[in-house]
Amino acid sequence: MKNVVLTISYDGTDFSGFQRQSGERTVQGVLEESLSLLEGEVPIVYGAGRTDSGVHALGQVVNFYSKRDLPESAYLKGLNNILPDDLKVKQMKVADDNFHARKSAKAKEYHYWLRLAQTPSPVGLKTLWISEPLAVEAMGEALEHFRGSHDFSGFRTTGSSVVSTTRTIFNTSYKRLGNLVVFSMIANGFLYNMVRIIMGTLLDVGRGKIAPDEIPLIIESKDRQKAGATAPACGLYLYKVYYEHDVFCVEKNNQLDQKQIKTEQFTSNLDIKDYIT
């Protein structure tokens, strides 16, 4: 048995999220069905992030166990020829048996893209179109207040159940590229819809409804009603998943304590070329 690891990218527009659902088109479901044509059986695919319906990915990481000794080309060429146009494999390697795409992950990086223009664009990068003026610099200032370890109870969808609502955001940044603006967040984990609610709150800042220095009080309140609306999924990308070692060189029984992680390990890459190559 080989522990096969794939880095995949997808346009989430026509997927009902990552996780397999009966009667729905999902990333996991399509990937498992396509892999079965190579593997001779349907493998169980484990994903690093369970992206929601409409959310995209540039660097989603998955792993599964294969009984076949297939070459890299079987996945980069053969599997990509089977997969639909909105889901493709970028990289394939073999990891140690103990590697798990989700459980071995130490941090995830999400990007959210806005297009500030009078009219929307039907082609190119998937973004949230904003036709009204936004105070982008104020949004960037507000974004910095989310850094650190906080109880993000007020930034999750009601009804989601987790053991702890405390998460650590290691790094945040934003960049303007013409009429595009991209916001980046790197954390040890995100609550359900957390990134989209943070973005909804930043949009309220940009519209002058919330002052940047109000963000710490909103976080401290743990009150969902004080945060912004949940921003649409269309502008959100899972950009990268971070591991202790290179994802394809994972050592057995060598777990990194989250307390040992330093913020400087995680530096956002906001280069648009990654989205067009």
| Beta-strand relationship, 56-66 and 46-47 | antiparallel
> Has 52 been annotated as catalytic?
yes
Name the nearest CA neighbour of 212 among 147, 151, 155, 144: 144
Tokens 């989209």, located at residue:
196
DSSP 232: P
> 238 and 110 in contact (C-beta within 8 Å)?
yes
> 267 and 170 in contact (C-beta within 8 Å)?
no
SS3 for 152? coil
Q: Which one is catalytic: 11, 14, 52, 86?
A: 52
**Cβ contacts of 20 within 8 Å, gap of 6 or more:** 26, 28, 29, 32
Catalytic residues: 52
